[in-house]
Amino acid sequence: MTRMLITRPDPDAQSSLARLQALDIAGVAAPLMERVMLDVSLPPADGFAALVFTSANAVRTLMDRDVVSDYAHLPVLAVGDRTARDAAAAGFVRVGSAAGNFGDLVNAIGLSGLKGPLFYPTGKHQSADLGKALAPMGVMVATAKVYDMVAIAALPSTVLAALGDGGINAVLVYSRRTAEIFVRLAHSLDRTQRRALGMLCMSEAVAEVLLEAHFNRISLADCPDEEAMMALALSFARAQTEP
């Protein structure tokens, strides 16, 4: 049976693990990052035209800080459907989804006619700058870095061994930063071992990091969401059993 490594943080890793099991794919979760809440002051909701989420972790952090009710009346613009569902479940009343990636979100904000200011709670490490992207549209963004995703120090020894001896056939990688951490923690794998591993990537940005590190058995999801990643995992697993 095909066995896959899930690298995304909890609780998403456990959700992905359950979905793999439902597809009859064996999985092991080894989150490469852990969410840490940052001690930062938050602005009052008064005066903001909307709230922007590019990560479910930002939603979770506002929940952990027990401040959702302070902002729940604001319209929410989420990067994707999963983040939008999490925001709605957290108590935000008017939630919209760009149903895509960061570029889709920027386009959606531009088409919305909102002139801001927008409140953008996000992580310490940002793959793109929302304020900079929206500046040409005249939209002001107040960014608050409310959490940090801290990399683990090392892969579990059993996982590292399985990556090297074929006990794990593929790795699901959801972000560029996760790919960078994986490359660092799996540095002991030789080129033959790297070529044998299937690397299932959510985007081209993820794949770039892995290709540079000589992981060349790369597969890309059709779109940047969990449904596409699960479809990719199923396609990979089926290919392993074909004669």
pLDDT in 10s for each residue of the chain, 243 residues: 899 999 999 999 999 999 999 999 999 999 999 999 999 999 999 989 999 999 999 999 999 999 999 999 999 999 988 899 999 999 999 999 998 888 899 999 988 888 879 999 999 988 789 999 999 999 999 999 999 999 999 999 999 999 999 999 999 999 999 999 999 999 999 999 999 999 999 999 999 999 999 999 999 999 888 999 999 999 999 998 876
C-alpha 81: how far from its chain's center?
13
- Separation of alpha carbons 19 and 22, rounded Å: 5
Residues contacting 101, CB < 8 A, separation 6+: 79, 80, 203, 224
pTM: 0.85
Ordered by where they begin, the domains of the chain are 3-32+152-241 (3.40.50.10090), 37-150 (3.40.50.10090)
